[in-house]
């Protein structure tokens, strides 16, 4: 089966697509059109033009569309499309469901209707007043667009505006000018629109009763979209801003979105041949101001810090349902950080975290049944769609209380939903896994025995060549963010520039819940480096259900090393994201960073595997391995081969720290791991 992605497949990467569903056979609840396969969507095999004609006809015959230009406090007007149920009246009232977007509220024109209004078809039949707004400076709205517009905690005049004030003014206008409403407003959005849902809830309007930031952007430098711990997400940023970043000098109803033409499905080769990042602007169709901003701000300075929304998430009074995907390699940091921050800074606000086995937006755009080399056993998105609608019905229409927990997450590996009264769960225990001389992982730190002192140098070594970086997927084709997750990583284990460490087979199931910490003692022959840590789940040599004469189930997953989590770290930021500094050649240096949370069970006889490498291309740009103050200005001569050492001696122990969720029947043991003692 080909894994090549269609050229348009990344249009949905940051919430751009209109979320169409494709009619298909099979039994679906309430006769609704099914969501497409997550595997097909991740591989770009679902036609974007697929739509449910019955759904489109229902919307056209049951809703009246209006287009408004809503004035903001500073005089700027924001273009807004409003779809009102035909029977809305003084006797029959509906709540507003607001969606603010930088990606266009198209189609434009009073007679041209969207083919979907709510996150799912059920919303249109349930009945809401659906509101779509082009944010300030985008498409048909007036004003200046600013990416991740910084929030203003103090507003002293009508000229002091941000996304929270624009949301407040929009809600106020809707309440005064649109008939047939019940006085309640909900707000939702995926990815960039998820950011607007978060920002719009700050010092929320009293009528804003419920919000659902889904894959919300929180911080574009530390963990969302454009960077991972300061390491630049090359493929995503290049493709996204090559289109989204083009100038829009005046309001425009141009609905076209023409994806960047790479001329090849092989993104690995394309970005290698691109060369240093200085060559990127020449490939764009026109000036891209925000790319220039990225280049001008290589460190976590005031430019990026002001765009971190987390410190400003205060005064949030609307009930909140935060949604994310364990396999979202664009915006998983955002949901986790937003949830933690909202709970801390708004303790009286009902807040729930819901995460499933999904790619970016997969809960709304796919069935969530499988991904990559992993099968989750059922259509996980069906569970989600019921929860989300019940949440909005309760807070906007007075429906039954869905009694949501603090966190409902999907436990990968065991393939089941779990509910917790806190996230991470309160009863998890920290457990270290030390890198050992025999390429094993052990709960016991290295010991200084005479035998190991004589025979073992106390480190593992590999050579990293920027001309031959480790690919993010086995085939090198497009879409690192979707082609890397939940797939077999044995291709990387065979490379000489990847080091692999494994636990013995577990005697009982082991469940990890929460963040994972990496603490590596490293040294390099260069003056800069990246260190990428992968957490893998290795299947036993023979899977349950397979006989001695060969597999009795398909496909054969024996020995598969499935990616659970991956995180890069740029070593120049080891002490500060704001003040990078070079590595000293040959000097052991401690690198500490956090990998995004997991909820994963390693089943009995499985192994936990850690891979360490120094590139992940083209997901992350190549580190020259020679320190230059600004990597975006690196010259070809700055890209050098470097030798890296991962130290694991008693004096310099490298380890991974996981959070173990104990089983109810877990026997007493010296450590939290079900390993032979």
Pairing of strands 227-228, 208-214: unpaired
Tell whether the model's pLDDT for residue 1 goes beyond 70: no
Q: Worst-scoring range by mean pLDDT, 12-26, 50-64, 481-495?
A: 12-26
CB neighbourhood size of 26 (10 A): 7
Q: Is 295 helix (H, G, I), strand (E, B) or coil?
A: helix
pLDDT in tens, 273-324: 999 999 999 999 999 999 999 999 999 999 999 999 999 999 999 999 999 9
- Provide the Cα torsion 253, 98, 353, 317; round to 10°: 130
pLDDT in tens, 88-136: 998 999 999 999 999 999 999 999 999 999 999 999 999 999 999 999 9
What is the predicted pLDDT for the residue at 455? Answer: 81
Domain 9-218+309-420 superfamily per CATH: Alpha/Beta hydrolase fold, catalytic domain (3.40.50.1820)
Higher pLDDT, 406 or 453: 406
Q: Worst-scoring range by mean pLDDT, 370-374, 605-609, 643-647?
A: 370-374
Tell whether the model's pLDDT for residue 16 goes beyond 80: no
- State the average pLDDT for the chain: 91
What is the predicted pLDDT for the residue at 168? Answer: 98
Pairing of strands 181-190, 94-101: parallel
In sequence order, which residues have a C-beta less than 8 Å from that of residue 621 and are 6 or more positions away?
231, 232, 233, 234, 277, 631
d(CA 220, CA 1): 35
Domains of the chain, by residue range, sit at 9-218+309-420, 429-661
**pTM, rounded to two decimals:** 0.92
145, 148, 118: which is closest to 132 by C-alpha? 118
Q: Please report which confidence band the pLDDT of residue 553 belongs to, taking 50, 70 and 90 as the band edges.
A: low
Give yes or no for a contact between 230 and 576, defined as CB atoms under 8 angstroms apart: no
pLDDT in tens, 556-605: 888 999 999 999 999 999 999 999 999 999 999 999 999 999 999 999 99
What is the predicted pLDDT for the residue at 677? Answer: 60
Q: Worst-scoring range by mean pLDDT, 155-159, 378-382, 405-409, 445-449?
A: 445-449
Q: Please report which confidence band the pLDDT of residue 257 belongs to, taking 50, 70 and 90 as the band edges.
A: confident
d(CA 35, CA 120): 9
Estimate the crossing angle of helix 333-345 against helix 192-200, to 10 degrees.
10
Q: Worst-scoring range by mean pLDDT, 16-30, 41-55, 446-460?
A: 16-30
Instruction: Choose which CATH entry (1.10.10.10, 3.40.50.880, 2.60.120.260, 2.40.50.140) describes domain 429-661.
Output: 2.60.120.260
414, 440, 458, 420: which is closest to 608 by C-alpha? 440
pLDDT in tens, 453-512: 568 899 999 999 999 999 998 876 667 877 788 889 999 999 999 999 999 999 999 999
d(CA 181, CA 184): 7
């Amino acid at each position: 089966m080909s894994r090549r992605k269609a050229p348009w497949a990344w249009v949905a990467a940051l919430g751009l697509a209109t979320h169409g569903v494709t009619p298909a056979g099979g039994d679906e609840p309430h006769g609704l059109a099914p969501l497409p396969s997550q595997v097909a969507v991740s591989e770009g095999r679902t036609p974007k033009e697929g739509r449910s004609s019955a759904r489109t006809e229902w919307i056209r015959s049951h809703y009246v569309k209006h287009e408004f230009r809503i004035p903001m406090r500073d005089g700027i007007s924001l273009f807004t499309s409003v779809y009102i149920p035909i029977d809305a009246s003084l006797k029959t009232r509906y709540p507003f469901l607001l969606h603010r977007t930088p990606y266009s509220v198209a189609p434009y024109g009073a007679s041209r209707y969207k083919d979907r209004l709510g996150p799912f078809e059920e919303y249109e039949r349930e009945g809401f007043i659906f509101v779509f707004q082009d944010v300030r400076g985008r498409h048909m709205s007036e004003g200046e667009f600013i990416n991740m517009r910084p929030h203003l905690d103090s507003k002293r005049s009508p000229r002091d505006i941000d996304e929270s004030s624009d949301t407040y003014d929009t809600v106020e206008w809707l309440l005064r000018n649109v008939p047939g409403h019940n006085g309640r407003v909900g707000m939702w959005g995926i990815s960039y629109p998820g950011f607007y849902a978060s920002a719009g809830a700050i010092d929320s309007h009293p009528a804003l009763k419920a919000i659902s930031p889904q894959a919300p952007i929180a911080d574009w430098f530390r963990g969302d979209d454009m960077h991972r711990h300061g390491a630049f997400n090359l493929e995503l940023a290049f493709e996204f801003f090559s289109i989204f970043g083009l100038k829009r000098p005046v309001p425009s109803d141009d609905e076209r979105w023409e994806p960047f033409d790479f001329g090849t499905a092989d993104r690995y080769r394309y970005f290698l041949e691109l060369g240093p990042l200085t060559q990127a602007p020449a490939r764009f169709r026109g000036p891209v101001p925000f790319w220039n901003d990225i280049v001008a701000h290589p460190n976590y300075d005031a430019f990026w810090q002001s765009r971190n929304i987390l410190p400003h998430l205060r005064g949030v009074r609307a009930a909140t349902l935060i949604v994310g995907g364990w396999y979202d390699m664009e915006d998983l940091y955002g949901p986790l950080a937003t949830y933690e921050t909202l709970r801390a800074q708004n303790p009286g606000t009902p807040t729930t975290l819901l995460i499933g086995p999904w790619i970016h937006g997969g809960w709304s755009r796919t069935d969530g049944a499988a991904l990559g080399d992993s099968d989750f056993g059922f259509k996980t998105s069906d569970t989600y769609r019921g929860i989300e609608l019940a949440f909005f019905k309760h807070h906007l229409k007075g429906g039954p209380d869905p009694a949501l927990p603090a966190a409902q997450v999907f436990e990968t590996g065991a393939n089941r939903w779990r509910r917790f009264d806190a996230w991470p769960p309160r009863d998890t225990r920290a457990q270290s896994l030390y890198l050992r001389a025999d390429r094993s992982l052990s709960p016991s730190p290295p010991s200084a025995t005479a035998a190991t002192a004589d025979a073992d140098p106390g480190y593992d070594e590999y050579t990293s060549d920027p001309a031959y970086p480790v690919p993010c997927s086995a085939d090198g084709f497009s879409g690192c963010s979707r082609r890397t997750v939940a797939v077999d990583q044995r291709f990387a284990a065979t490379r000489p520039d990847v080091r692999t460490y494994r636990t013995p087979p577990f005697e009982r199931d082991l469940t990890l819940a929460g963040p994972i910490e990496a603490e590596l003692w490293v040294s390099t022959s260069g003056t800069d480096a990246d260190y990428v840590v992968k957490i893998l789940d290795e299947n036993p040599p023979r899977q349950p259900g397979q006989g001695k004469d060969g597999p009795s189930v398909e496909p054969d997953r024996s020995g598969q090393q499935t990616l659970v989590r991956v995180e890069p770290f740029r070593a120049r930021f080891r002490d500060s994201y704001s003040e990078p500094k070079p590595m000293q050649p040959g000097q052991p240096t401690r690198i500490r960073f956090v990998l995004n949370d997991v909820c994963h069970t390693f089943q009995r006889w499985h192994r936990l595997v850690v891979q360490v490498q120094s590139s992940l291309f083209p997901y992350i740009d190549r580190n020259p391995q020679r320190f230059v103050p600004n990597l975006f200005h690196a010259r070809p001569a700055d890209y050098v081969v470097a030798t890296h050492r991962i130290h694991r001696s008693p004096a310099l122990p490298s380890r991974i720290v996981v959070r173990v969720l104990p089983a109810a029947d877990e026997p007493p043991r010296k450590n939290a791991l079900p390993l032979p003692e």
